[in-house]
Chains A and B, each alone.
Chain A
Amino acid sequence: MRYICSVCGYVYDEEVEGVPFADLPSDYQCPLCTAPKDFFEAAEKEEKKLKEVTIDEDLHELSNGEIAATLSNLARGLEKQYKFEASKDMQDLADYFTGNLPSLEDSSLEALSKLIDEDLEVNYPNVQKCAQDNNDRGTQRIAVWGTKVSNIIKALLDTYKKAGEKALLGKKVFVCSVCGFIYVGEKAPELCPVCKVPSWKFEEVKRR
């Protein structure tokens, strides 16, 4: 049997490893991306049924949070075009919206986990299905990356809830500046397990 890491796609092949997957210790982690053992899925799994969702028809205007992300994305675009001044100006416009977001009613680690779970169970599968139906390759790729990155966030939140500060003691936290993959460890991985960019594309999260 083969087991596949749902974050980075690493394959655990029982024939090659010589140890049945079930016999691995419960604290086994993916050697590439550190996802925990229960984030592995059997290679021959059944197709999950899509949880359909109805989208609010009145949804026209972008929320301020969405505008902030749209503008900072345009700033990244300008940077890639070597238009550094325009990129900085665009980032300033984005920061205005980032700094003026109304607080949410219910903010807690639980609520945050719930948002991520909804993305994984409902939102990304629907986006993926719609993109496939409409032959939209760009959106399909983003849904694949987003699902993997949301999976590692779920894993990290789960681990933190179980182990508390111990989970991060003496470790550094890195974010891939391309896809958002989060890595907890001593140094950034040589290649991003999700989008495969080199280690210098990782940013270390600064301590307070």
Chain B
Amino acid sequence: MKKVAVRNLRLCTKDCICLYVCPSGATDTEDSVIDVNKCNGCGICAEACPSKAISLVPLSYPLQQAKKEAVLKTNRLISLSKAKAEKMAHDLADKCEDDGLYCLLKAIERSSRLMNEDIMRESGYMLPQSDNAKKLIQDIIDKKPEGFDLKKAQKLINQELNND
């Protein structure tokens, strides 16, 4: 599996050992982001980094585990309900005059979205490069919803989500 190095800036302590050990100069950038086009995936920088800020990520991802039909169906109980709760909290916050309640409702809106993202991730949408994810976006494109950025969606499918 071909890999490239990435740096977690939260951990990087700028010891810059990666600069000394990288055989291709991929870590020598102005913005601290390792150049994926130069990186050959050897992993020497990750081993040498004293603050463990560098790790290797695969260029393509393995297939997702298949999900059981029964699980997919039952998970919809949560995704439908959390989508409703998110929208309701949003609308109530918009209308609400009290500052405390506003914050609480905004928190519930955000929290409902996070719980919904989790359940959708476990419903066959874990990997952005999966066929499921691409099909979902393609189906939206085919319906041409008014005001939807078709070009951006098509670009995502064509360039970012291919997994070969």
Contacts and interface: CB of A to CB of B under 8 A. Distances in A.
Interface in B116-164: 116-122, 125-128, 133, 136-137, 140, 145, 147-149, 152-153, 155-156, 159-161
Interface string B51-74: 000000100010000011011011
Nearest to B160: A86
Interface in A169-185: 169, 171-182, 184
A120 to B, nearest CB: 11
Nearest to A138: B122
Range of interface residues on chain B? Answer: 35 or more
A203 interface: yes
Contact of B88 (A72, A107, A122): A107
A175 B76 contact: no
A146 interface: yes
B88 to A, nearest CB: 5
Interface residues of A, number: 86
Interface in B85-125: 85-89, 91-92, 98-104, 106-108, 110-122, 125
Contacts of B120: 66, 69-70, 73
B83 interface: yes
B84 A115 contact: yes
B77 interface: yes
B128 A180 contact: no
Nearest to A177: B114
